Structure 1
Protein backbone atom coordinates (compact mmCIF):
# COMPACT_ATOMS: atom_id res chain seq x y z
CA UNK A 1 0.00 0.00 0.00
CA UNK A 2 1.30 3.45 -0.82
CA UNK A 3 0.34 6.94 0.24
CA UNK A 4 -1.98 8.95 -1.95
CA UNK A 5 -0.48 12.23 -3.20
CA UNK A 6 -1.24 15.14 -0.89
CA UNK A 7 -2.16 12.93 2.07
CA UNK A 8 -0.17 13.64 5.24
CA UNK A 9 0.31 10.92 7.84
CA UNK A 10 2.49 10.53 10.89
CA UNK A 11 3.90 7.49 12.58
CA UNK A 12 2.09 7.26 15.91
CA UNK A 13 3.61 4.03 17.22
CA UNK A 14 6.72 1.94 16.54
CA UNK A 15 7.24 -1.46 18.14
CA UNK A 16 10.49 -3.41 18.02
CA UNK A 17 9.84 -6.95 16.76
CA UNK A 18 13.37 -8.36 16.91
CA UNK A 19 16.36 -8.27 14.62
CA UNK A 20 15.95 -5.21 12.44
CA UNK A 21 12.15 -5.35 12.18
CA UNK A 22 9.72 -2.72 13.41
CA UNK A 23 5.93 -2.66 13.38
CA UNK A 24 4.81 0.86 12.46
CA UNK A 25 1.35 2.30 13.06
CA UNK A 26 0.35 5.42 11.14
CA UNK A 27 -2.12 8.15 12.01
CA UNK A 28 -4.59 6.87 9.39
CA UNK A 29 -4.67 3.43 11.06
CA UNK A 30 -2.38 1.73 8.54
CA UNK A 31 -0.01 -0.80 10.15
CA UNK A 32 3.03 -2.29 8.45
CA UNK A 33 6.13 -4.26 9.37
CA UNK A 34 9.42 -2.94 8.01
CA UNK A 35 12.61 -5.01 7.92
CA UNK A 36 15.68 -2.75 7.80
CA UNK A 37 18.23 -5.61 7.71
CA UNK A 38 19.20 -5.58 4.03
CA UNK A 39 19.32 -1.79 3.95
CA UNK A 40 21.63 -1.61 6.96
CA UNK A 41 23.83 -4.51 5.86
CA UNK A 42 24.39 -2.82 2.48
CA UNK A 43 25.21 0.58 3.99
CA UNK A 44 28.63 1.94 3.08
CA UNK A 45 28.53 5.10 5.14
CA UNK A 46 29.66 4.55 8.76
CA UNK A 47 26.94 6.84 10.12
CA UNK A 48 24.37 4.41 8.69
CA UNK A 49 26.30 1.15 9.06
CA UNK A 50 26.69 1.66 12.81
CA UNK A 51 22.99 0.85 13.20
CA UNK A 52 23.82 -2.77 12.34
CA UNK A 53 24.56 -2.88 16.08
CA UNK A 54 21.17 -4.04 17.33
CA UNK A 55 21.46 -2.05 20.56
CA UNK A 56 21.84 1.15 18.52
CA UNK A 57 19.07 0.07 16.14
CA UNK A 58 16.68 -0.48 19.06
CA UNK A 59 17.32 3.10 20.25
CA UNK A 60 14.97 4.59 17.63
CA UNK A 61 12.53 7.34 18.60
CA UNK A 62 9.50 9.04 17.13
CA UNK A 63 10.00 12.76 16.56
CA UNK A 64 7.17 14.83 15.12
CA UNK A 65 5.63 11.77 13.47
CA UNK A 66 8.89 10.53 11.97
CA UNK A 67 11.01 7.50 12.84
CA UNK A 68 14.56 8.61 13.67
CA UNK A 69 17.80 7.29 15.10
CA UNK A 70 20.33 9.39 16.94
CA UNK A 71 20.12 13.11 16.32
CA UNK A 72 18.33 12.49 13.02
CA UNK A 73 21.43 10.61 11.80
CA UNK A 74 19.16 8.02 10.20
CA UNK A 75 15.61 8.56 9.02
CA UNK A 76 13.52 7.45 6.06
CA UNK A 77 10.91 9.02 3.80
CA UNK A 78 7.53 8.36 5.37
CA UNK A 79 6.16 7.08 2.05
CA UNK A 80 8.80 4.33 1.98
CA UNK A 81 7.99 3.34 5.56
CA UNK A 82 4.27 3.39 4.82
CA UNK A 83 4.87 1.02 1.89
CA UNK A 84 7.13 -1.13 4.09
CA UNK A 85 10.05 -0.81 1.66
CA UNK A 86 13.41 0.55 2.69
CA UNK A 87 15.56 -1.81 0.64
CA UNK A 88 17.68 0.39 -1.60
CA UNK A 89 17.64 -2.23 -4.35
CA UNK A 90 13.95 -1.73 -5.12
CA UNK A 91 14.48 1.92 -6.01
CA UNK A 92 12.00 3.32 -3.49
CA UNK A 93 14.54 4.77 -1.12
CA UNK A 94 17.12 7.43 -1.92
CA UNK A 95 18.86 7.45 1.46
CA UNK A 96 21.57 4.94 0.54
CA UNK A 97 22.11 6.56 -2.84
CA UNK A 98 22.78 9.91 -1.16
CA UNK A 99 25.17 8.29 1.34
CA UNK A 100 27.01 6.41 -1.41
CA UNK A 101 27.30 9.55 -3.53
CA UNK A 102 28.68 11.44 -0.53
CA UNK A 103 31.16 8.62 0.20
CA UNK A 104 32.30 8.60 -3.44
CA UNK A 105 32.76 12.37 -3.33
CA UNK A 106 34.89 12.10 -0.18
CA UNK A 107 37.04 9.37 -1.79
CA UNK A 108 37.59 11.55 -4.89
CA UNK A 109 38.82 14.45 -2.78
CA UNK A 110 41.56 12.41 -1.09
Structure 2
Protein backbone atom coordinates (compact mmCIF):
# COMPACT_ATOMS: atom_id res chain seq x y z
CA UNK A 1 0.00 0.00 0.00
CA UNK A 2 1.68 3.18 -1.09
CA UNK A 3 1.07 6.64 0.24
CA UNK A 4 -2.46 6.06 1.50
CA UNK A 5 -3.39 8.53 4.21
CA UNK A 6 -6.35 9.31 6.44
CA UNK A 7 -8.45 12.16 5.04
CA UNK A 8 -11.29 12.24 7.56
CA UNK A 9 -12.89 10.33 10.40
CA UNK A 10 -16.53 10.46 11.42
CA UNK A 11 -17.86 9.23 14.75
CA UNK A 12 -20.65 6.68 14.31
CA UNK A 13 -21.19 5.54 17.91
CA UNK A 14 -19.26 4.52 21.01
CA UNK A 15 -15.66 3.81 19.89
CA UNK A 16 -16.55 3.32 16.21
CA UNK A 17 -15.27 5.63 13.49
CA UNK A 18 -15.85 5.70 9.76
CA UNK A 19 -12.48 6.56 8.27
CA UNK A 20 -12.04 7.91 4.75
CA UNK A 21 -8.70 7.48 3.04
CA UNK A 22 -6.93 9.47 0.36
CA UNK A 23 -8.00 7.00 -2.35
CA UNK A 24 -11.69 7.48 -1.43
CA UNK A 25 -12.02 4.14 0.36
CA UNK A 26 -14.01 4.16 3.60
CA UNK A 27 -13.57 1.71 6.46
CA UNK A 28 -15.59 1.37 9.66
CA UNK A 29 -13.28 0.60 12.58
CA UNK A 30 -14.36 -0.35 16.09
CA UNK A 31 -11.53 0.63 18.42
CA UNK A 32 -13.23 -0.76 21.57
CA UNK A 33 -11.77 -4.29 21.34
CA UNK A 34 -8.28 -2.79 21.23
CA UNK A 35 -8.77 -0.10 23.87
CA UNK A 36 -10.56 -2.35 26.35
CA UNK A 37 -8.23 -5.35 26.00
CA UNK A 38 -4.74 -3.93 25.54
CA UNK A 39 -4.18 -3.28 29.27
CA UNK A 40 -1.66 -0.48 28.77
CA UNK A 41 -2.05 2.44 31.22
CA UNK A 42 -1.56 5.03 28.44
CA UNK A 43 -4.78 3.83 26.80
CA UNK A 44 -6.96 3.77 29.93
CA UNK A 45 -8.30 7.28 29.38
CA UNK A 46 -9.57 6.36 25.90
CA UNK A 47 -12.12 4.04 27.47
CA UNK A 48 -14.05 7.26 28.02
CA UNK A 49 -15.91 8.09 24.82
CA UNK A 50 -15.21 11.80 25.21
CA UNK A 51 -11.44 11.21 25.48
CA UNK A 52 -11.58 8.79 22.55
CA UNK A 53 -13.28 11.43 20.41
CA UNK A 54 -10.49 13.92 21.08
CA UNK A 55 -8.40 12.78 18.10
CA UNK A 56 -6.72 14.71 15.31
CA UNK A 57 -5.63 13.93 11.79
CA UNK A 58 -2.01 14.99 11.51
CA UNK A 59 0.09 14.35 8.41
CA UNK A 60 -2.41 11.74 7.18
CA UNK A 61 -2.45 9.82 10.46
CA UNK A 62 -5.23 9.46 12.99
CA UNK A 63 -3.73 10.20 16.37
CA UNK A 64 -4.66 10.88 19.94
CA UNK A 65 -2.97 13.21 22.40
CA UNK A 66 0.27 13.97 20.57
CA UNK A 67 0.81 10.39 19.37
CA UNK A 68 -0.04 8.62 22.65
CA UNK A 69 -2.27 6.35 20.58
CA UNK A 70 -1.69 5.95 16.85
CA UNK A 71 -2.17 3.10 14.39
CA UNK A 72 -0.45 2.32 11.10
CA UNK A 73 -2.65 3.61 8.27
CA UNK A 74 -2.51 0.19 6.60
CA UNK A 75 -3.99 -1.41 9.75
CA UNK A 76 -6.84 1.11 9.76
CA UNK A 77 -7.41 0.57 6.04
CA UNK A 78 -7.68 -3.21 6.49
CA UNK A 79 -9.48 -2.92 9.87
CA UNK A 80 -6.80 -4.99 11.53
CA UNK A 81 -5.80 -2.89 14.54
CA UNK A 82 -5.63 -5.89 16.89
CA UNK A 83 -2.77 -7.62 15.07
CA UNK A 84 -0.08 -5.64 16.92
CA UNK A 85 -1.69 -5.93 20.33
Secondary structure at 1:25 match in 2: strand
Match in the other structure for 1:20: 15
Give me the TM-score of the superposition, normalised by structure 1. Answer: 0.73
The structure with more radius of gyration: 1
- TM-score for both structures, normalised by structure 2: 0.93
Structure 1 runs of 4+ with >6 Å offset: none
* Number of aligned residues: 85
Gapped runs of 5+ residues in structure 1?
97-110
CA RMSD of aligned residues (A): 1.0
Write out aligned runs for 1:1-110 (5 A). 4=1, 7-86=2-81, 88=82, 92=83, 94=84, 96=85
Distance 2:58 2:69 in 1: 12
1 or 2 for the larger relative contact order (CA 8 Å, sep ≥6)? 2
Question: Whose helix fraction is larger, Structure 1's or Structure 2's?
Answer: 1
